[in-house]
Amino acid sequence: MLKGILLLYSMACIVLIAEAQTNDTTANILDELVVTATRNQNKLGNVAVPVTIVNKKTIQQSGSLRLNQILQEQTGLFLSNNFGSGVQIQGLSADYVLILIDGQPLVGRNGGVLDLSRITVNNIAKIEIVKGPSSSLYGSEAMGGVINIITDKSLANNLNASLRYGSYNTSDANISGSLQLNKFNISAFANRNGSNGYDFNKNDTGKTVQPYYSYTTQVKLEQQFSNAVKAGVLFRYYYEHQNSLYSAGNDIVSGNPTIKEYNINPYVNIRFNSKVRTAFNGYATQYESAAKEYLQHNDSLYYNDFFQQRFLRIENQTDVNISSANALTLGGGYTHERLNTNRYSGIRTNSIAYFYAQDEQHIADKLIVIAGLRYDDNAAYASRLSPKLAIQYHPVNKLRINASYGAGFKAPDYRQLYLNFTNNAAGGYTVYGANEITTTQLQQQLEQGSIISITPFGNQLQLLKPEYSKGLNIGGSYQFSKSLFGKVNFFRNDISNLITTEVIAYKSNNAPIYSYFNVNSVFTEGTELQFNYQVTKNIKAEAGYQYLVTADKDVLDQIKEGKLFGKPEGSLESVQLTRSDYGGLNGRSKHMANLKLFYDNKKWMATIRGIYASRWGVADKDGNLILNRDDEYAKGYVLLNLSSGYHFNNGLRLMAGIDNLLNYRDTQWLQQQPGISIYGSVQYSINFKNKK
Amino acid sequence: MKQLVLKIAAGVFLFSLVNASCKKDNTTQPVPPLEATSVSNIEADPALTGNHFAFFSLETNQQIALADSATTKWDIGFRGTTIITNNGNSGPGNGGAFVQTGATFSAYTTIAVDSIFKTDAAPVYAIPTGSGNGWYNYDFANNVIAPIPGRLLIIRTANGNYSKIEILSYYKDAPTAPTSTDAARYYSFQFMYQPDGTKSLK
């Protein structure tokens, strides 16, 4: 049924594509400016690494509210839903994707995942997505890629207000304005988002997604002191409040977990002359989550979690145009982090000093070579050198061939080192950071009888090392005609020293105790295809596809040696597994595709967006702990989202949409995806003439 | 002189070895293949009441009464996920066991000469306890105990004979896709018992 609809949809697209000659073009795609790939403004066509740009118009027309929604519609991005909505890039999980707002990192990860539903898209000017290891510019965490959210700039005097209401009592209200006074400008933004949530299982206590609301506010100030000097500051504040409700034994637990987040980013930019400019950035952010939940029958405290992370940074970057064909970027900074949480025993701090350099050389107008290097001196761990080399060759203007090699790393995070956490709400399991438990301590607990057995992992506890990756991307783009643009990229990422949780012991109540280990070596490899087609002046089509293969190298070795067995569905007897039985890492779709149509005639607009993800591994059913059986996968899905709107001359804009038209739901494995949702919104903008 | 005696002794010993093996070859007759036996729903204290083991004899393919726990009548015992063999501080027998990894029941036909049989010294057992250590993996997310594919229990019985066991299920009536709501602590397994004292299991 779903496949049928997808097929029909594709046919409709082909008909549309065949329909008419074009006026508009896709020829300027590569001229878009991108800052994230090279840390200075560069044409998309020149950066030589895989980059996706999502602009404001696309975000608005798609009717997205939160960052996870718009990212889900982009080629090669897979949204995971453990510990909030995270995004997987090139098969590397959300832990390895650095999230920036206006170039500064967001903190506050839970289980390694930064919940993207924290981020409203209403004040986003564009989103830049760099795929592949980018540690040569950004250091730890940028192993799978970097997503940089660039918020609206104050460009003119205007006021904006919008209100949206839809299924599940979901509401989203925004107000923003900006003002330019001579050489000073200020912009302000506020968002309130809330929902009653929804429930997939009426028989249990609480809803699948409990009611919540959140506020985001942001203020940007900037003063141009002279032609050479400007300075500004960005403030952002986020507050989230959720009602929690679930059963525990015969009792019911409820509470109001909250999240508070502050970001402050002052900066000074100086342009010494046409060749040299420098930027100083300060950054302070704090993320704080607090949850106190009580048993209903006697109001006693059942669950108490407090987590506060502070992150301070000073940084300078200087760009030198040595010649018209040679640009040098030099940067350095110092980061201090502090953690205070009742999950750990005490307050933890760490600091990192870093330096990076990058040189971009244009040779004979056909070749671009970008070489970069970053050195991170981590106070708690060994220092790390991350190189990058990217080459682009464009023999003719239509054709660009890119190759890049980059190294990535991710230092063990605080959780992996210092966690000391027992989850009473979910069966009483305990997780220890690698520095919090030793084999000797486990043996003592065994003698005391508080644990009943120690696993082989429990007998080899040791200090953690950083995770390393090497990534290779080879691809190209081709302008087939004025209206058709296509690009392809082949990628391979090899990750070693991967930190995973393993069971180290079992308690006397059979609940496991986990800790962290540098165990695995894995790889991810695949292909990404993207086509942009301007069908008519008013219609454009985008199609994307990613093919992804992942594997744990140790598992492959075991299969090669004939040492890995499984049980076919419906059988209890073991059979030897072959390479083709092994489905790779859990949580990865082998095939992902999207097809999007956008219609816009300045007054009317409409979109149809289809997103497909093939099955992905979720469970082990036959005791071998690897993915090898059909029933160990969650079913693949097709999401179909529609929107349409009308733009009046006076600044009023009306819009309505349906998300998940096919009402796809997976109540077990994709609970964060609501069923069919309908919304309507109204937006009003006033632009004032600038008095100059 | 002393050296010479030793050499002669060694020569005699070698000769007798060769002789013995020749003799054996000459007298070998085709041995009928052993049969695999299936056992289901051995109750390893499912009601969690008595906290006692369920004993089983591989030799007679019978469950053995609790009253005979201190005898050599039984070869293996089950309680929860713990499996004991009749030796060490588990029982008076001459038993032993080890976990063979990476082998299927039908393909594993001979116990290697250098195999080391372990004995029970509770709380450490010849068949290690805990998920991933011995015969099962525990999936905490789904709360299911699953026998690890490709693992066999190689058993020396109370009387010193050999056997191989593949645990098939930990749940009542051996469902092929057990869930946490299925009744647990019901063992189903297949075994092959070699009564002649050799390490051949085929």
Q: Minimum mean pLDDT among A5-14, A417-426, A589-598, B184-193: which range?
A: A5-14
* Residue A121 DSSP label: S
Sorting pLDDT into bands at 50, 70 and 90, what band is B142?
A: confident
Q: What is the C-alpha separation between B18 and B26, in angstroms, rounded?
A: 12
Range list of H helices, A230-279: none
pLDDT of residue A628: 93
In this predicted model, what pLDDT tens digit does every residue of A474-484 receive, in sequence order? 999 999 999 99
Give the count of beta carbons closer than 10 Å to the beta carbon of residue A623. 26
Quote the pLDDT of residue A425: 67
Confidence grade of residue B64 (pLDDT, cut at 50, 70, 90) = very high
- Strand-pair category, A384-393 with A399-410: antiparallel
Q: Cβ of A575 and B149 within 8 Å?
A: yes
What b-and-e string marks burial along B161-179, b requiring 16 or more CB atoms within 10 Å of the CB?
bbbbbbbbbbbbebeeebe
Residues of B within 8 A of A562 (CB-CB) are: 102
Task: Please list every residue in chain A whose beta carbon sits closer than 8 Å to the beta carbon of residue B101.
Answer: 563
Contacts of B123 in chain A (CB under 8 A): 446, 452-453
The arithmetic mean of pLDDT across residues B84-93, rounded, is 93
CA distance A417 to A112: 13
Per-residue pLDDT for A319 more than 70?
A: yes
Q: Would you say A589 and A600 are in contact if contact means Cβ atoms under 8 Å apart?
A: no
- Does residue A410 register a pLDDT over 60? yes
Of A562, A570, A619, the CB nearest to B176: A570
CB contact under 8 A, A623 and B105: no
How would you classify the pairing of strands A429-432 and A512-534?
Answer: parallel
Nearest-CA distance from B3 to chain A in Å? Answer: 48
Interface mutation target, options B83, B135, B140, chain A, most CBs of A under 10 Å? B140
pTM: 0.86
Res A6 pLDDT > 80 = no
In angstroms, what separates the C-alpha of A79 from chain B's closest C-alpha? 21
Q: Residue A667 in contact with residue A208, Cβ under 8 Å?
A: yes
Task: Reply yes or no on whether the pLDDT at A185 is more than 90.
Answer: yes
Cβ(A340)–Cβ(A286) below 8 Å = no
| Token representation of residue A69 | 């929604």
E-only strand ranges, A381-483: 384-393, 399-410, 420-423, 429-432, 451-454, 467-479
Q: Which residue of A has its CA nearest to B81?
A: A510
Is the minimum CB–CB distance between A581 and chain B shorter than 8 Å? no
Nearest chain A CA: its distance from B131 CA (Å) = 7
pLDDT greater than 90 at residue A54: yes
| Nearest beta carbon to residue B130 from set A454, A622, A623 | A454
- Give chain B's contact residues with A (Cβ, < 8 Å): 101-102, 104-105, 123, 128-133, 136-142, 146-151, 166, 168-169, 174, 176-177, 188
**Which of A430, A574, A618, A633 has the highest number of chain B CBs within 10 A, making it the mutation to test binding with B?**
A574
Mean pLDDT of the A411-417 span: 84
Nearest neighbour of B133 by CB, restricted to A456, A621, A624: A456
Nearest to A379 by CA among A144, A140, A143, A141: A140
